[in-house]
Chains A and B, each alone.
Chain A
Amino acid sequence: MDVLKLGDREFSSRLLSGTGKFRDKNEIKEVLDKSGSQIITVALRRVNLENPTDNILNYIPKHITLLPNTSGARDANEAVRIARIAKESGCGNFVKIEVICDAKYLMPDNEETLKATKILAKEGFVVLPYIMPDIIICKKLEDAGASAVMPLGSPIGSNAGLQTKSILEMVIENSNLPVIVDAGIGRPSHACDAMEMGADGVLINTAIATASNPAKMAEAFSLAIKAGRAAHLLKLQEESRYANASSPLTGFLNL
């Protein structure tokens, strides 16, 4: 069984979804149903426990894993505080660290993200940091106890696709942690491309939430992700078969 492992949990779906930007919170359940997505990220800043009609958690089926995010945090300290509040509010121990102090392009602060990861991983959180792709930071995050890395494809909401592709390839090649491409994926073909490259998952929010039919778009993404994953696995097999079947170029060495 081909599964995505995060912390002590296993997921058959490699599509992570989001709760932002929808016209109607009731659309979230349809998106999850149609796409089979099992993980959904929720901005704690939007969780309104005191108001049942507004409380986003009431619109997410119970079997779905919540991935609270620290959206709005401007440094490690704030991210840590938000993560702790999320846990206390019953959102579980998964956390997507978002430290953004650039309101214009929403670029993540890798340095502060690393600091927050160190603290939260020690406290037992399953930490998924949102980062600018860079193989050095990925290594450091791994040492800090992160459970995956979430490099961006392009700026949040831009729908611009994998603008960081060549760096993403290096990250995927070098990372011992699952790599989940987050942000900027605008079309199913972008998602398929990421998966074919070897990403372990993708997180899609804007492209689904702002589609004319979010549930159908979610389904399209889900299919694209499955196709990309299948192609990636097959490619690995083909590469190994090719290596076995070819006549040795070094036979003369009598190895």
Chain B
Amino acid sequence: MSFLDVLQEYEGFDFENYLERVSDKMVAKAIHKKKLNRFDFLNLLSPKAKNHLEEMARRAHEITVANFGYTINLYLPIYVSNYCSSDCSYCGFSKKNRIQRKKLSLSEVEIEAKEIAKSGIKNILFLTGESKKITPISYLIDVTKILKKYFSFVSIEVYPMSEEEYAKLHLAGVDGLTVYQEVYDRDIYKKVHTSGEKTNYEYRLQTPQRGAKAGMRSINIGSLFGLGEIASEAFFSGLHASYLSDKYLECEFGLSIPRINDAEGHFKPNKIVDDVTFVQIMCAYRLFLPRVEINISTREEASFRENLLGICATKFSAGSKTEVGGYTKAKTEPQFEISDERSTQEVIQRIQELGYEPVYKNWESI
């Protein structure tokens, strides 16, 4: 049993037709339900729900404050390699892009880690391109051991791997895993992932579940908006998070809402998620999943991020660099363009001014 079975239930389901027929009444009812079912959630993703956005935002805020308080978890990403054996047509690191490739040596990782640690933030996410050959598990373990000297919570966003491999990394000190399905629509998935291991849709879909089984404490998933139909992608992302949190009770799940921006390779998104739709998706996630983390990266602009904080965001990256070696001597191309270019200190100060407590540390190495 995997999330694949849930997806199969919706094969042939006519989302467009259903969403068009959702009424204001159905939306209003969903907003104030104590526990939303799948269709309530889908109703909140309908065009009609846009008429109820303020009400959705208020409810989302209320639920978030009860569950998370006036706090926001902070983390910083560190890019340790941009070598990639996959060809994702939307990504700056795609193997087809003729960019300078770089993999940090372990001493370079240490230099970057020291620099990042000065921010006082104890949560770090380390990322590589998807190349198991150039950044094998052994390298990831070595990187983890260095990072654990400076940070209490280490997460990875690398290539999908087996449960046993995740268990090895967990033992070395990795507690968090980020893996995006990118797009739940199989046909589009096939179109945008033309070669490399990433062509395997099902293996990727079952990745979060292998991570949970291996003992990861926190797993972040999501759809990369801009590829598939917006409402159904959001719907499946939410269902995936719901499926996982019902099945792996001991693990905390999070959702990100990345939308395609101007990465190298100049990919033109098929569907544009505008700000209104972004907020609609975010609120729908919160109403459907009261305890899920909602993560907003520096892909989004500073002022937009600030507004999302007041609604239902619970996790921010702060002062991010998306180039390999970006904190000390940025040389390579970024994976995606950053829209919020403020320093970590500026981000933290604004969070406090807005009446929220920035959380620098949310786990103790034990």
Interface-side segment among B182-190, B227-235, B247-255, B263-271 = B247-255
User: Does residue A1 face the partner (Cβ distance < 8 Å to B)?
Assistant: no
Q: Bits for B333-356, please: 1 = Cβ < 8 Å to A, else 0.
A: 000000000000000000010011
Chain A residues with CB under 8 Å of B246's CB are: 104
Chain B residues with CB under 8 Å of A44's CB are: 364
Are the C-beta atoms of A23 and B357 separated by less than 8 Å?
yes
Are the C-beta atoms of A48 and B250 separated by less than 8 Å?
no
Chain B residues with CB under 8 Å of A104's CB are: 245-246, 249, 291
User: Does residue B102 face the partner (Cβ distance < 8 Å to A)?
Assistant: no
Interface SS of chain A: loop
User: Does residue B69 face the partner (Cβ distance < 8 Å to A)?
Assistant: yes
Chain A residues with CB under 8 Å of B69's CB are: 20-22, 206, 209-210
Interface-side segment among B45-53, B60-68, B131-139 = B60-68
Give the number of residue pairs across the A-B interface with Cβ within 8 Å.
Answer: 81
Q: State which size class the interface on B falls in.
A: 20 to 34
With A and B bound together, what is the CA distance between A20 and B67 in angstroms? 11
Interface SS of chain B: loop
User: Does residue A74 face the partner (Cβ distance < 8 Å to B)?
Assistant: yes
- Chain A's closest residue to B248 (CB) is A103
User: Does residue A101 face the partner (Cβ distance < 8 Å to B)?
Assistant: yes
Q: Which of B249, B252, B364 contacts A85 (CB 8 A)?
A: B364
Tell me the A30-84 residues at the B interface (CB within 8 Å).
44-48, 50-51, 53-54, 72, 74, 78, 81-82
With A and B bound together, what is the CA distance between A206 and B65 in angstroms? 9
Knowing A23-B357, A24-B352, A210-B65, say if A85 contacts B251 (CB, 8 Å): no
Tell me the A199-220 residues at the B interface (CB within 8 Å).
206, 209-210
Chain A residues within CB distance 8 Å of chain B: 20-25, 44-48, 50-51, 53-54, 72, 74, 78, 81-82, 85, 101-104, 106, 157-159, 206, 209-210
- 5 new A-B pairs (CB below 8 Å) besides A47-B364, A51-B120, A54-B360? A22-B69, A22-B357, A45-B363, A102-B249, A103-B251
14 contacting pairs across A/B (C-beta < 8 A): A20-B69, A20-B71, A21-B68, A22-B71, A23-B70, A45-B364, A46-B359, A46-B362, A48-B122, A51-B361, A72-B217, A104-B245, A157-B67, A158-B66
